[in-house]
C-alpha cells in the first residue's frame, strides 16, 4: 500500500518553517479521516492536523480493509516517516482509533497521546467481543450513534460500508494487549459521561499505560461526545499541545 494514501490534510497548516506540532488523528471503527474535519478547522492555526484514512472506506473503499489493530498501527507509523516536519508529534485516537494510536505511540514516542472513548488496553474490549454477525454489528453502530441512520438503512450503501465495519469490529474484538514498553509521553484521557462502554474505572486504567503524566477529561454526552464538543476539545488541545518551535526555523 502507498504510504501517502494513509494521511489526509484538510486545512492549511501553520508556517512549516516554524516546525509546527503535527497532530495525527485516528478514527473510530467504521469511521474515516473526514470525521476530524471540524477538529482540524478549529486547530488549523495551532497545529498541522493529519487524519488517518484506513483502507476500505471513502476514497479507499476499493482496498481491502485491515482487521488487525497492530497492522494498522504499523502502516500508519510507516506513512508518518516521510510526512514528519521535524516538529513535535502528537497522536489523537477515538474509540478503536485510541488503541491504534496507542500501539503507534509505542513505536514513535510522541510528545502527547490523546485517547478518547476507549477502555485502557489492558482492560480488554468486553462489549465488542459480544458483537457477532451483521445484525448485531449494525445494532451496535446504531446504539453508539455517530453514523447517519440513512446510510445504515440503504442496502446499496451497506454493501459498501459493511466490509470495513466487519474488519474494524474483528480488529477490536481480537485485540490482545501485550506487556512491553509503554509511551513515556503525557497521556490525556477523554470521555463522554454517558458513554456506557467507558465507565470511569476502565478509563482510569489508562494511567498504567504511560510512564509519564496522565490526566482525565470528561464531557457531557455519549460515545460521540466529540461531535457535540469539538470547540471544547479543540481548546483543550490548543492549550496542551507542544508549542511550535518559532525560534528555530528550518534551514
Please give the DSSP secondary-structure letter assigned to residue 42: H
Cα dihedral 85, 91, 97, 102, rounded to 10, equals 120
Q: Is 223 a catalytic residue?
A: yes
Instruction: Choose, from 40, 95, 116, 170, the residue flagged as catalytic.
Output: 95
**By the 8 A CB rule, do 61 and 34 touch?**
no
**By the 8 A CB rule, do 134 and 162 touch?**
yes
Phi, psi of 179 (to 5 degrees): -60, 145
Q: How many CA atoms lie within 13 A of 134 on its CB side?
A: 9
Instruction: Choose, from 28, 75, 209, 223, the residue flagged as catalytic.
Output: 223
Q: Is 229 a catalytic residue?
A: no
d(CA 71, CA 69) in angstroms, rounded, equals 5
Catalytic machinery residues: 95, 223
Amino acid at each position: 500500500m502507498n504510504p501517502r494514501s494513509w494521511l489526509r490534510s484538510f486545512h492549511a497548516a501553520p508556517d512549516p518553517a516554524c516546525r509546527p506540532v503535527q497532530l495525527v488523528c485516528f478514527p473510530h471503527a467504521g469511521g474515516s479521516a473526514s470525521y476530524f474535519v471540524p477538529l482540524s478547522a478549529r486547530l488549523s492555526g495551532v497545529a498541522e492536523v493529519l487524519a488517518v484514512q484506513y483502507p476500505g472506506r471513502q476514497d479507499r473503499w476499493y482496498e481491502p480493509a485491515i482487521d488487525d489493530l497492530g497492522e494498522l498501527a504499523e502502516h500508519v507509523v510507516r506513512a508518518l516517516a516521510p510526512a514528519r516536519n521535524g516538529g513535535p508529534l502528537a497522536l489523537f485516537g477515538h474509540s478503536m482509533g485510541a488503541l491504534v494510536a496507542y500501539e503507534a505511540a509505542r513505536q514513535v514516542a510522541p510528545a502527547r497521546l490523546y485517547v478518547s472513548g476507549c477502555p485502557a488496553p489492558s482492560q480488554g474490549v468486553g462489549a465488542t467481543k459480544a458483537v457477532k454477525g451483521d445484525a448485531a454489528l449494525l445494532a451496535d453502530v446504531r446504539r453508539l450513534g455517530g453514523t447517519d441512520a440513512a446510510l445504515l438503512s440503504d442496502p446499496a450503501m451497506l454493501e459498501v460500508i459493511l466490509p470495513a465495519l466487519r474488519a474494524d469490529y474483528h480488529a477490536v474484538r481480537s485485540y490482545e494487549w501485550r506487556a512491553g514498553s509503554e509511551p513515556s509521553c503525557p497521556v490525556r484521557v477523554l470521555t463522554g459521561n454517558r458513554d456506557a462502554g467507558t465507565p470511569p474505572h476502565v478509563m482510569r486504567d489508562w494511567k498504567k499505560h504511560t510512564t509519564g503524566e496522565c490526566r482525565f477529561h470528561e464531557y457531557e454526552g455519549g460515545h460521540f461526545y466529540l461531535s457535540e464538543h469539538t470547540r471544547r476539545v479543540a481548546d483543550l488541545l490548543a492549550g496542551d499541545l507542544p508549542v511550535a518551535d518559532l525560534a528555530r526555523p528550518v534551514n
